[in-house]
């Protein structure tokens, strides 16, 4: 691995974060049905109590509500919290000035003067990677973000972002991508290895595969809402993996499947940011820390996941 720059070192020291897409989103997560603002506040507090201090949100989540809720919760805690949010590349945002402008909106909702990580949520169809990074450079120079990240960037775009920022002596801090035992694209296509080589932190989203890896869903008990449709073909295949995860969890003193799923991501050298709807989930997910799967266990899980994904 290359030397990690001093600006981004803090990200490499974080083992796990907390995802806040669930806070306010009604499209995928049915916020307001089965869980409420009180529940997500307790999830936030439980995470802090367990030592999780890195929260990932986005202007898109709940149409700004996730950022507003996080802002409210931050006012009620004395604990230092590291904040990551994201710029959404709507097609009508076609100038670099759109980034500092959108970040000002995020800061107002969050009630803070700067964030620790500002990420481009997806590649843009109307603004080149160079243009996006020029906007990010303005954000860094104005002191409104400490570091810059991308999300859902393939290797070519990620390297273009890395080079564009390097021209301004700014490191690319992170690439936030889908990574779990049920989605290993970034491991197979070399993105994870390239991130390690360049000192870019790979932030793993959907590390519990939106609840599937907890083992609580099955073909006869599918997840609610749009998740049912997107996982219709995967669900019947995952039982051997869930069974092995449960066995391995037992060998580690009764760790849950979700904890095994998160520990696997950590063992791979990535930073998982599980989403939590309530304190119970947040607390359980924090129990992925403080122990490690063995190399043989990781290899066994890899083998079974390969059979499912082939």
Ligand X SMILES: NC(=O)c1ccc[n+]([C@@H]2O[C@H](COP(=O)([O-])OP(=O)(O)OC[C@H]3O[C@@H](n4cnc5c(N)ncnc54)[C@H](OP(=O)(O)O)[C@@H]3O)[C@@H](O)[C@H]2O)c1
Footprint of ligand X (CB under 6 A): 19-22, 29, 56, 121, 151-152, 176, 205-211, 214, 216, 223, 258, 273-277, 281, 284-285
The torsion angles phi and psi of 272, rounded to 5 degrees, stand at: -80, 145
Specify the residue, 8 or 257, whose C-beta has the smaller distance to ligand X.
Answer: 257
Nearer to ligand X, 8 or 214 (CB): 214
* CB 130, min distance to ligand X, A: 21
Shortest separation between residue 5's beta carbon and ligand X, angstroms? 23
Q: Nearer to ligand X by C-beta: 214 or 263?
A: 214
Q: Which of 35, 61, 205, 217 is catalytic?
A: 61
Query: With respect to ligand X, which residue has the nearer C-beta, 142 or 290?
Result: 290
Whether 217 is catalytic: no
Residue nearest ligand X by beta-carbon distance: 19
Positive or negative CA dihedral for 34, 36, 40, 45?
negative
Q: Are 176 and 149 in contact (CB under 8 A)?
A: yes
What is the nearest approach in angstroms of ligand X to the Cβ of residue 288? 9
- Nearest approach, Cβ of 38 to ligand X (angstroms)? 16
Q: Enumerate the active-site residues.
A: 61
């Amino acid at each position: 691995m290359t030397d990690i720059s001093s600006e981004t070192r803090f990200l490499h020291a974080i083992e796990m974060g907390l995802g806040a897409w669930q806070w306010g989103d009604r499209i995928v997560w049915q916020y307001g049905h089965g869980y409420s603002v009180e529940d997500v506040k307790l999830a936030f507090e439980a995470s802090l109590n367990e030592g999780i201090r890195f929260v990932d949100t986005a202007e898109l989540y709940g149409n700004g509500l996730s950022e507003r809720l996080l802002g409210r919760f931050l006012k009620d805690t004395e604990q230092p919290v590291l904040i990551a949010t994201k710029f959404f590349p709507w097609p009508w945002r076609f100038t670099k000035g759109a980034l500092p402008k959108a970040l000002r909106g995020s800061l107002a909702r969050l009630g803070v003067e700067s964030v620790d990580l500002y990420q481009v949520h997806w590649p843009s169809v109307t603004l080149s990677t160079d243009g996006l990074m020029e906007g990010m450079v303005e954000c860094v120079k104005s002191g409104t973000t400490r570091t810059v990240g991308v999300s859902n960037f393939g290797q070519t775009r990620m390297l273009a972002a890395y080079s564009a920022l390097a021209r301004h002596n700014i490191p690319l801090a992170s690439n936030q991508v889908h990574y779990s035992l049920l989605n290993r694209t970034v491991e197979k296509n070399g993105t994870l290895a390239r991130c390690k080589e360049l000192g870019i932190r790979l932030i793993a989203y959907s590390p519990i595969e939106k609840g599937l890896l907890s083992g609580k869903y099955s073909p006869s008990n599918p997840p609610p809402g749009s998740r049912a449709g997107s996982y219709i073909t995967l669900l019947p295949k995952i039982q051997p993996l869930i069974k092995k995860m449960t066995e391995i969890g037992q060998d580690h003193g009764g760790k849950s499947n979700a904890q095994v799923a998160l520990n696997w991501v950590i063992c791979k050298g990535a930073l998982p940011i599980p989403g939590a709807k309530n304190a119970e989930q947040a607390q359980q997910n924090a129990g992925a820390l403080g122990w490690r799967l063995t190399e043989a266990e990781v290899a066994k899980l890899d083998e079974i996941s390969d059979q499912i994904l082939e």
